[in-house]
A and B are shown apart, each in its own frame.
Chain A
Amino acid sequence: MPVKAPAHVARYPLDHPQASKLSVWADRHFQYIMLLPGALLLCALTVYPLLLLLWMSFSTYQITAGGLQSAFAGLHNLETLAHDPGFLDSLKKTLAFVLGSVTLSFVLGLILAMLVHGGSTHPAIRTVLMLPMMVAPIAVGMIWRLIYNPEFGPLNRLLGVWGIAPVAWLAQPQLAMPSIILVDVWQWTAFNYLLLLAGLQTLPHEPFEAARVDGASEWQTFRYVTLPLLLPTIVLVLLFRTMDSFKAFDKLIVLTAGGPGTATEVLSLYIYKVSFRYWQLGYGALLALVAVLIIVVIARGYERGIHAVA
């Protein structure tokens, strides 16, 4: 495609004697000028805050009449961490939540993707199926609080039709965790479905042809052709989902806020409670650093996985 600059643009080419010194200088340093706004914002709004977080994790903070008072505390916060049963407890809750949500939403997403891929599907259906993940987690939390409502929520009413007594979905310690996992699954199955479907659609045709010629059953084709070919996409999807579930906060705070007791208090909620309910900002900062470390470890793990399968 031939491209021609509009005539008014190149009125004074840069090698023209009348081209200004400034425009020549700007042209020479173009790449840095372009990068500057983003780089400045990035330094001020991400590098500095994360360095501050590091510093905060070695400090203690107290609210006094004069505002927030900080003091250097050395390894005090680390000592607290080593003897904090609340932290370990929240890690266990996080593990349960992440495992439950990632596994279930992956399986459902894969089934959905196979179903949609397995024949012609109306575009409207494809669109509808991905709606939940665009909606704010906080709104999803509110919607499901209404659905789970023990007195007049539609779920209990539906069960009532079959004579099942009302269930307190979010208030019973044993039920609260599965209930919130279900909400996360409802929202993020869409993500798995969409990416896995895209993965399926880019697979080469030949291996499937070969499997058909060899007389492989549908299950065999799925198990020995589709799954191995899809593996890179699967690892990518699981990586994104694991990190996102680990970071889940909004919908949990509106559904259970960690309750009943601490039955659903995952790490995100615990860090929030320590920092902005008990105002132990220093210790909260250390916990947040730990959360960052965990995410890095997760990402590294999957990165190895990707290299192993690719």
Chain B
Amino acid sequence: MGTPRGVGRWLRRAALGIAVALTLLPFLWIAETSLKDFKTIAQGMVFFRPTLDNYQGLFGQGSDFPRFFANSVLVTLLATLGATISGALAAYSLVKFRFPWGVDRYLLGWLLFVRMVHPIALAIPFFLIVKGLHLYDTRLGLALAYTALNLPFGVWMMRSFFDDLPESLDEAARIDGCSHFGAFRHVVVPLVAPGLAATAIFTFVLSWNEYLFGLILTETPRAMTFPVGMARLAHEVFVKWGEMSAAATVFVIPVFVFALLVQRHMIRGLTLGAVKS
């Protein structure tokens, strides 16, 4: 289709402009609110003297937020490592080899099912399991849960990247005397490294954004994650809008950075590798 001319062209630009504004304004508003003191927020002024008080309150002495932040980073990293590595290994095996009794197809089907399942259907039994293992309100318990949640994603996503590799690559390495593992480690992994990075970043964002399991499996700042702590601000009787906005801003910025990094693989990630762009 060619570029439309005249009125149509300007209409199109205006519509896109409105869409961009509607997308960005809520983000800008929360970032702006995070720089306001309480009085300015209540007056709803657009022009004001910016202050970092909310950020100081959030990350200063006596606040639990530094702890929430550290918990989130640790749990997310563990889950990312667990799900990406075990996912990549399994995906390679599933792409490259045949399995008896259609094990591979059942496995992929099960992974898809887990991905579709309502998360609360996993959260309820997980609550009992974690209690039973004395992992309730620990970061390890949460990291295990997030690994489980992200494993289907890791396998399906990596599977689509392994699928893209030319058939004969590791064969050639085998002929050169490589073991299967040698071929995987020295030939396949370097080639699929960008895909591995994209999968890890997606997994990171998914775990970072997760709320329900954090809510159910933790109860004190010992293991509570950033989004759970942040949402508690909104449920207090006297809502501190400034600090809430500051928390949301800090929480969202890393996601934006990561989103820019995986832009190219966005569609593949969103559809579990079903659609490649």
Contacts and interface: CB of A to CB of B under 8 A. Distances in A.
Question: Which of the four size classes fits the interface of chain B?
Answer: 35 or more
Contacts of A104: none
B148 interface: yes
Contacts, number: 288
Contacts of B255: 134-136
A63 B92 CA distance: 46
Nearest to A295: B116
Contact of B125 (A27, A52, A272): A52
B135 interface: no
B61 interface: no
Nearest to A61: B128
B155 A152 contact: no
B189 interface: no
A13 B44 contact: no
B194 to A, nearest CB: 17
Interface stretch (A80-88, A173-181, A281-289): A281-289
Interface string A101-129: 00000000001100111111100010111
A128 B20 CA distance: 7
Contacts of A144: 26
Contacts of B179: 14, 23, 26-27, 30
B129 interface: yes
Contacts of A132: 23
A136 B29 contact: no
A258 to B, nearest CB: 13
Question: Which of the four size classes fits the interface of chain A?
Answer: 35 or more
A45 interface: yes
A139 interface: yes
A198 B121 contact: no
* Consensus secondary structure, chain A interface: helix
Contact of B227 (A56, A139, A240): A139
Given A134-B205, A198-B275, A5 B173 contact: yes
* Consensus secondary structure, chain B interface: helix
Interface in A224-254: 233, 236, 240, 243, 246-247, 249-250, 253-254
A56 B128 contact: yes
B92 A34 contact: yes
A130 interface: yes
A115 B90 contact: no
A142 B230 contact: yes
A131 interface: yes
A195 B44 contact: no
B271 A236 contact: yes
B178 interface: yes
9 contacts: A27-B179, A31-B99, A32-B93, A48-B125, A118-B1, A135-B209, A147-B29, A152-B41, A276-B216
Given A115-B16, A147-B26, A236-B271, 18 more contacts: A5-B182, A27-B179, A30-B97, A30-B179, A38-B151, A42-B107, A49-B125, A52-B129, A118-B1, A128-B24, A131-B24, A135-B209, A136-B211, A139-B227, A141-B234, A146-B241, A152-B44, A250-B211
